[in-house]
Each structure stands twice: as C-alpha cells, then as structure tokens.
Structure 1
C-alpha cells in the first residue's frame, strides 16, 4: 500500500511530517488527491489549543478524485479525475437539517452539541488516530468518507481560488442568507480578515447599495484591498469617527445589515452595532461573551442572529462567484506553502512571521 505524507499537529504549535497508509477503497468512499488546502481563520486558534493532537489539520479542501467506489460514484455523480471542493462537515444525512442542506446544524456535525469535538469526525479538526487517519487537507491525499459534502468544480478553476469556497461561503451565509444583505441595502461589516472581506464581497455581489468595512490601523492594507472586493467605504476605527461616517452614508438612518466577524470578546461591537442600526435591521453578532439589550432590540425592531458556518447553498453560491471571474479573488490568495511549511502557513494566518497574509494555502505538490 502506498504511504501518504501528512503534516500532523503533534502539540501546541508543533507540526511534523508523518506517513500513513493509503486508505483501503470501499464501495461507498473514495480517495482525494489534495491540490490545495486553505488555512482558515479558526486554524491558528486550533493550532495553539491543548488536547487537539495528533491531528491532520486543513478544512478548506480542493482536489482531484483519485479513486472512487462504485456506490460512491453513483451517489455523488462523480468519477475519478473530477475536481471537487468539500465542506468540513461530516453530517448524518438523515436529519431535517441535513435534508435542507444546512449541515452546520446537524447534531452530529455541530460543535456546540457534540460531547468531544476532537474525537468527532470532521475534516481538519479530528483525531488522526481514528482510522483511516487522513481526515485533513494538509496531506498529499485525504479520505472521502461516505457522508462527505461535496461540490464539483470546473476543470479549469484555480485550486487556490477554489479553497475560498468555505470562507466566501461563510460570507454568503452570514451577510446575505442569514443577514439579509441584498438589493439597495446598506451593510456594515466589522473585521477585514478573510471572513470580513468575504462578507463585503458577498453583500456587494448580492446587490447591496453601500458596504462599509471597519478595521483598525494595523489593517490598513486589508482595508485598502476591500475597496476592490465590494466595500464602498473602508474605515479605520482608531483614526476615524465610525458613527459619523455611517450616519453620513445612510442619511442619518443607520444601516440595514451588520455583520461582526471579529469575535467581539468584550461585547463592545454588539453595543455599537445596535446603535448604528436602522429600524428593522438584521444583525449577525459573533461575540460568545457579549450580551445584547432586549429593550433596544425591541425599540428598533431588530433581528439578531449569530454567524455560524455555512449551508450547501452558501458554498455553491461562493463557487459560482469565483467561477464567474467578476471579482479579483486572486487578491485574497496571498501566500502559498508546501507541505513541509504548514507551521509557517498557520502562523502567517495569525499575523506572525510573515506580513500581509490574508488567505493562506497549503499545496502539497509545491516545494517549499
């Protein structure tokens, strides 16, 4: 059996290359040759977390099907040689949420419901000791489980751009499908990371009239880039008066949609988001430690949700946006590393060691 090289997290911010046997092919599963795997915004947190090793990370995966069981080929409508992008979810496929294509809420895939996240099957975060071991994209090959969620992609689509399907899918979900951004709406996005830039792009692609992206002074390069990726106004909240800018842009009415992608650790963004919202606005608030005043929500008739993951529809819409070639997706794909430099790739995403990283990818066929 062929040995497969994989970058394995072995401890807190430690990675080493290990070899695993190529999974045996059954009737209902397959083998994917990884072309490129994106480093997600949550990966640096996963990398420094205790009790999550050994693990083959990498959950934004794109590749070519190398082998496929007959049952899997019939079920997925695919064959060897087809190129695909995957969700990280490995859901049950029989609950109401799965039947709606909303795998993020499946009880077997939802991080907030499972008892042991590390030992729950999910691409990029589960225990590598669970056979057949290759549960992440930072490897030469990956196991295609029978319950994998798959999107076929065009033969000519750039692999690194295709890894944006998950973060851009988050943008579509959070800003548009859950947030209500669309024709004529004004949208405020906090955080110019890969998720925030994706929210701005998705909102503009959906027809939003004005998109305002907010960051800090250290984010200047990303704020400037956002103007090519859907934002109409980019605000440095440390140097500029955000409230004055929002009210000037909306004629004093406030915005129709707010999306926070920062995590809002102290709850200050939730409070600010409410104060900048128009009556009837939709808010996607991301702070696990934040609280919101119900009286203000009632007075302003606000709809509040929390941004969480992506549906099948969201990721397919993201892939359609990438395939259309209308937006400069390549500008988001800032750095690419080989398998031997997974450690550097994750740290770069965290803003450590390498400057200017936005969406970093790991391409196993690349040297260095």
Structure 2
C-alpha cells in the first residue's frame, strides 16, 4: 500500500494541524506533484483568519516534481515523471470565451470575484479539503495535478524557493508592465514594498524604466533596503519623508507615468496620492476594494485607471525567466523557510507577526523539524 500523504490543514481561524490523506489514484488525464516548496502568498494571512474556510490545505505558490502522470496528461502537457513545474492557483474551464482568448484569470470558474461559493470552488490553496481527491494546496507532501491545471516548466537548476516567486513576480510583471505599461524611460511609483510591490519594482526596471520609486512605512525598513537591490532607484519611508517632494524631485516636477498600489489600502488616501503624483497620460493600477477616485481629476490628467487582477500565463513565464537570468539577486526575497509542522508560524511571519524582516516566506513539506 502507498504511504498516506501528510498535509497541514487549516481547521479553524488561525489554527492548523497535520492530517493524513489517502494518496489518490491518478486517472489518465491528471497527475500527482511531489511538492518541493510552496510560497506563502500575500493573501494567505487574510485567508488564514477568515471564518468558515476550514478544512483547507492552503498554499497557492507551488513548485515541485511530477511524481505520477496519466497517459493523456503526459501528452497534453508534454511532461514526464521527474519534470519540475510551477503552478498557477487558477483551475479554469478552458472552454469559455475568456479561456479561449488566453485570459483564464477572468474565467467564471476561476475568477475569485465572480464565483458564488469561493470555498467550495476548486482552486489551489483556498478550497475545501473535503472535496476529493483533497490535495488542493501546497502545504502538503503531494498535490493533485488536475486536468485543467495551468503549468509552467521550472528552468533547469533553479532553486525551488526562488521558483516559488513565479506568482508574486508574475504579479509584478502583470501589474507594472503588461497592464501598467512601464517601459524604457518611464517613471514608476510603487506603493508597498511587500513581495508584490518588490515584484513590480523589479519588473519595471527590467522593462527599462528610468526611475522606480517605492514607498513604504517604518516597519518596512528591511524591505525598502532590499528594494534598492531589486530595481528601485529611490525608497521612501512615508512616515519620515515627504513622498510628493521625493517624486517631484526625481521627475523634475513632471510626475510619474505608472503607479501601482499593492497595499489594498481601503481609506482612499493612496488613490488620491496616486492621482496627484501622476503625469498627464499616466497609467494607474489601484488595488483597494474600498477606494474611490475623483473622475474629474482623472479626466483633467487624461489618466487610465485599472485594477490589478492576478496574473496571465505570459506574466508568470516572464517572471520565471527574469528570476533565472541571474541579473537580479531575487534570492534576497526568500527570507524564511519552514517545515510542514510550522505552517502556522510561516503564515503569521508573512503577516509581520512574531518574525522580523519577513519578505517571501516558504514552506518546504519535506524539511525535517
């Protein structure tokens, strides 16, 4: 008999425990992934403290090696046992208009904002672990590779912890470059030096931005320091410095061409700042669900406002290649690594609790305690 699969399962609000699951039989169109490493995403602390979302195997930034593979899946994905891959969290339908035109983020079966019952909708890292075959998250020894999974090959020799940056760096590529339009000569402002914001700074600089400014708070000091090694030209502690003066000095009073807010600030203050610091014709990516923006000012400045909505295949593939290029010390983002028994600590560290200077925290399921 095959050994059971060990997983860290969220059982209540900010509570988890190790449970064992039967290793599933793999049908011809699916596979099984031996998880090497799973990143703790910026949204995971929120998921961890939500009520009515247990039992759940969290972990949606997942990297591993193919352990088992059905014949149909092998042909469809072009994979074989032992190949190393990274996964999107999305499990799209692959038949709707959005999937067929390459934007599976907006598939009604994958779009987090449109599904009626998020917890019982199958998506890696956030769904009900009672749904067979149960292994829907990366905080486990193995994961089920569903027939509709979105898969990337991991570049040869890439460290597994670095490879888990595919999703947060992919968000940076998507929000700052593909959606935000950062390019050669651009002036870019990023709010928030977390894993997403640092990804935006890196992506913008890699795309040729002339000036990348990143804004954070006093508690973000270590992250702001790292940002200067990962694409940012100027790091501003907004509790000690005047952001407006810093931006206008850096841009000759013109303002920035691209703004990305990665903070999710509900107050609306960042939206107001973003507009005030923008040059005419700038692109703004505003992330706060509770924010509002003055249409009059947007019209006067001829601004384009978008909302960041996850990542495309192109963005994540670009992020993996960027990380593998060796041009940037992306390993600096990989701050803390925990074993399966310490998932609770890993998620709290990502939330900035009990651990100093955490940036991108990972869980290595096979790591010995």
TM over 0.5: yes
After superposition, residues 228-307 of structure 1 pair within 5 angstroms as 228-307=229-308
Question: Would you say the 8 A contact 1:102–1:310 is kept in 2?
Answer: no
Measure, in 2, the Cα distance between the counterparts of 1:110 and 1:231: 31
Question: Is structure 2 residue 127 aligned with structure 1 residue 108?
Answer: no
Native 8 Å contact 1:104 1:309 kept in 2: yes
Q: How far does residue 100 in structure 1 lie from its aligned partner after superposition?
A: 3.1
Deviation at 1:59, TM superposition (A): 0.1
**Counterpart contact for 2:61–2:165, Cα < 8 Å:** yes
Please tell me whether the aligned partners of residues 155 and 321 of structure 2 are also in contact (alpha carbons under 8 angstroms): no
In 1, distance between residues paired with 2:98 and 2:177?
A: 19
> How many Å separate the matches in 1 of 2:252 and 2:201?
21
Match of 1:366 in 2: 367
| Corresponding position of 1:51 | 52
How far apart are residue 35 of structure 1 and its match? 0.1
Partner Cα distance (2:43, 2:104) in 1: 18
Alignment of 1:101-140 (within 5 A): 101-140=102-141
CA contact under 8 A between 1:82 and 1:155: conserved in structure 2? Answer: no
8 Å contact kept, 1:221–1:356:
yes
Measured in 2, the distance between the counterparts of 1:328 and 1:98 equals 34
1:99 match: 100
Distance 1:312 1:337 in 2: 28
Instruction: With the length of structure 1 as denominator, give the TM-score of the two structures.
Output: 0.99
Once the two structures are superposed, what CA deviation does each residue of 1:218-244 show, in whole Å capped at 9, x if it has no partner?
A: 111111110000000000111111111
Which range moves more in the overlay, 229-238 or 99-108?
99-108
Q: What is the count of residue pairs matched by the alignment? A: 368
Contact 1:285–1:307 under 8 Å retained in 2: yes
Shift of 1:23: 1.1
Q: What is residue 184 of structure 2 aligned with on the other side?
A: 183
Q: Is 95-104 or 72-81 further displaced after alignment?
A: 95-104
Q: 1:302 offset after TM fit, Å?
A: 0.2
Return the alpha-carbon distance in structure 2 between the equivalents of residues 271 and 156 of structure 1.
44
**Counterpart in the other structure of 1:5:** 6
- Aligned equivalents of 2:358, 2:50: Cα separation in 1: 21
The reply to whether residue 326 of structure 1 matches residue 332 of structure 2 is no
Q: With the length of structure 2 as denominator, give the TM-score of the two structures.
A: 0.99
Compute the displacement of 1:323 (Å): 1.1
Q: Distance in 2 between matches of 1:238 and 1:341?
A: 33
Separation (CA, whole Å) in 1 of partners of 2:328 and 2:103: 26
Question: Is the 2:155–2:320 contact (alpha carbons within 8 Å) kept by the matching residues of 1?
Answer: no
Query: What stretches of structure 1 move > 4 A for 4+ residues in a row?
Result: none
Instruction: State how far apart, in whole Å, the 2-side matches of 1:260 and 1:23 are.
Output: 41
| Whole-Å separation in 1 of the counterparts to 2:279 and 2:50 | 39
5+ residue gaps, structure 1, are none
1:39 Cα deviation (Å)? 0.1
Match of 2:75 in 1: 74
| Superimposed CA distance per residue, residues 241-289 of structure 1 (whole angstroms, 9 cap, x where no aligned partner) | 1111111111111000000000011000000100000000000001111
Please list every run of 5 or more consecutive structure 2 residues that lacks an aligned counterpart in the other structure: none
CA contact (8 A) 2:196 2:262 kept: yes
CA deviation after TM superposition for structure 1 residue 101, in Å: 2.8
Which whole-Å CA distance do the structure 1 matches of 2:102 and 2:265 have between them? 29
After superposing the two structures, state which structure 1 stretch, 249-258 or 89-98, moved more. Answer: 89-98
1:204 corresponds to: 205
Cα distance, 1:103 vs. partner?
Answer: 1.7
Distance 1:300 1:356 in 2: 38
Contact 2:98 2:104 in 1 (8 A): yes
